[in-house]
Amino acid sequence: MSTTPGWPSRPSREAPRRHRRGWLIVALLAMVALGAGAAWWGKRDTSAIASATGTMAAVDDASGRAPDSSRVRVRVLNASGTRGYARRATLELRDRGFDVVDYDTERGAPRSGTLIHSHTGHLDWAERLQRAVGTGTIEARPDSLRYLDLTIFVGRDWKPPAETLRP
């Protein structure tokens, strides 16, 4: 094909590819920027966890943990009627420093509220357990024959945190 003077020459085949490649790079960079912005937005510091009630995430400070200087022996009983609550509460309480020595399901009618029995007179330990689970009523039930400090009857008012992947 001959070119006529004054007419523009025909573009090469490579020009449109380069143009498309440039737009593709710009689109990919925009997607990365949007993804980074969304990740930052999701990681913002919010107080929603601190204001939650009835969840293990209700208190995430030292007052919702077992005291470092003592071994607090706890028995967890699932009284909610929902399968798996005793196991999930056991895992969470152990993560918070409590020594869960036994967990089981309580037979009988499901409880609407969580109940904590203090067997050894350490009401401060019962209060720590109450803060750790975010709910519950404390009762003093002295029993010198038990090898336990506290018994918690997990009721329907307790909402477990999202279950993490555990190997």
- pLDDT at residue 4, as a whole number: 60
- pLDDT at residue 144, as a whole number: 79
Tell me how far apart the alpha carbons of residues 103 and 43 are, in angstroms, rounded to a whole number: 35
- pLDDT at residue 53, as a whole number: 46
Torsion of CA 148, 150, 151, 155, to 10 degrees: -160
Contact 93, 128 (CB under 8 A): no
- pLDDT at residue 72, as a whole number: 93
Tell me how far apart the alpha carbons of residues 71 and 144 are, in angstroms, rounded to a whole number: 16
The structural architecture, per CATH, of the domain 56-154 is 2-Layer Sandwich (3.30)
- pLDDT at residue 44, as a whole number: 57
Q: Does the reported pTM lie above 0.85?
A: no
Domain boundaries, the chain: 56-154
Spans of the chain, pLDDT less than 70: 1-20, 41-61, 163-167
- pLDDT at residue 48, as a whole number: 41
- pLDDT at residue 49, as a whole number: 41
